[in-house]
Structure 1
Amino acid sequence: GFFQNASGADSCDACPLGWISSSSGSKVCEECATGRYSSNLSSTSCSLCSDKTDSDPGASTCSFCESDYYNENDGNTGSAICTDCKKVSIAMNADEEDACPRKTTIATINIQKGYWRSDAASLKIIPCLEGMDTCRGGKNTTTTYCVPHSQGPLCSVCEKGYFREETGCRSCGSSDVTQFVSTKSWVFIGIMLILMLVYSSFPIFRTDWFTNKVREFRDEYLQMKTKLKITIVSYQILTQL
């Protein structure tokens, strides 16, 4: 457990943690190999890591887990507490090694694309809404498992300035949206112009009945537009609860 690297020295030095000397007269210490450790000074041998735990060369503890397991002793010093990754991988329909590669902790579980969890400490993994491409997954994520501009539970809420379309969030100022809104506006204007032309060209249509129908059409359009806005806002509020 000691070494002397200078000839003629009166004393020997103790091998540090993670290193050993197994014979007398050693000039250097040897580091413990992968999967082994030495937790005491002046050790003469390395200990084997217990089942499912692992270490790098020169380790003083077995501080992480083998693949297919995650460490519950997340962010703390000392020996790893390894838990089988089977339940986590089944929840994401993934291989255990893909979900929990070597050195995985609770925070670094590899969340698969199309799945979401509330934060890096949660073991409750939920599939995202079918047909949505807003859940990017990932590991060691401290902020979000969502693609840019998506947020909230299941990544189902759009950031301010974006709106929900079939597969994700799109900017309200994008050219496609502007073109869509412009097209809808021109269609409505065209319908109104046709109605005005018919009204002025055919006396039969200049009646209270026809005028009332036009007003009803306009009122129904405005009511439908208002209800749609209320529904969208309510949905976004509810999904953030």
Structure 2
Amino acid sequence: MDRLENSELAEAARLLFGAQVSTSGSTLTARRAMAAAASGYEVHHFRKRIEPRLLELLAWQLRRDSEAFATRHAEPPELHATSGRLVLPSDVFAWEAAEHQHALASLWGAVYLLRAQLLTVARLVSMDTAGQDLAAAVALWRHALVLRAAHAYRSAYGAVLLHAATKLGPEKIAASAGWTPPLTPPQELLLTELADSEQGWDSFAARLALAEGGTELVAVWQRALIGRQGGSQEEKGHHA
């Protein structure tokens, strides 16, 4: 009601729904009379003509805000504590459901690990301490793993998450880890191809250094993520 998209009826809406101190706790009849007076209408005309318009407008705004919220937000898979091992029935549908949950869990797991690494970078930058460049480079690896997980999900299940209350795609889920420096499509493709969680950070860094444009990509990513030309003063002095 504070953002009612009809300024002429905004006060009347607040009075009608008891959002104003003067009508809070009052009966609907009393609230309607005060709302009609505030909007300059006779009370019966207000009840028959204006009040329905207010209700429609508020319903539309609530529906729009709800849809916008669903578009921007997605919930990770809900987990529950269990007392026994996971057992699946010998059924193809159960296997397919497990495969989908695996892909979804892998995507969210990669997102949370990237989020953790981005927080590490931010903490080191805030403290102006050593390790910023390395932490930023590791964040690039984590980002590559997120890209790979998102690509794997899209390839297997399409552009929209299955069985979700939103229409978010895997790439939107990947972006929920936090801000990361923008990359070109060829750079994202390169990172997706090089990412491999089983081989680890060292293998990724070595292969990226040998790839065309890989070293430059790391340097640009580090500068953007750290927010300045290099690491901490301590690191600069050490390298000098």
Q: Which has the higher contact order (CA 8 A, sep 6+)?
A: 2
Higher strand share: 1
Structure of greater Rg: 1
Q: Using structure 1 for the length normalisation, give the TM-score.
A: 0.22
Higher helix share: 2
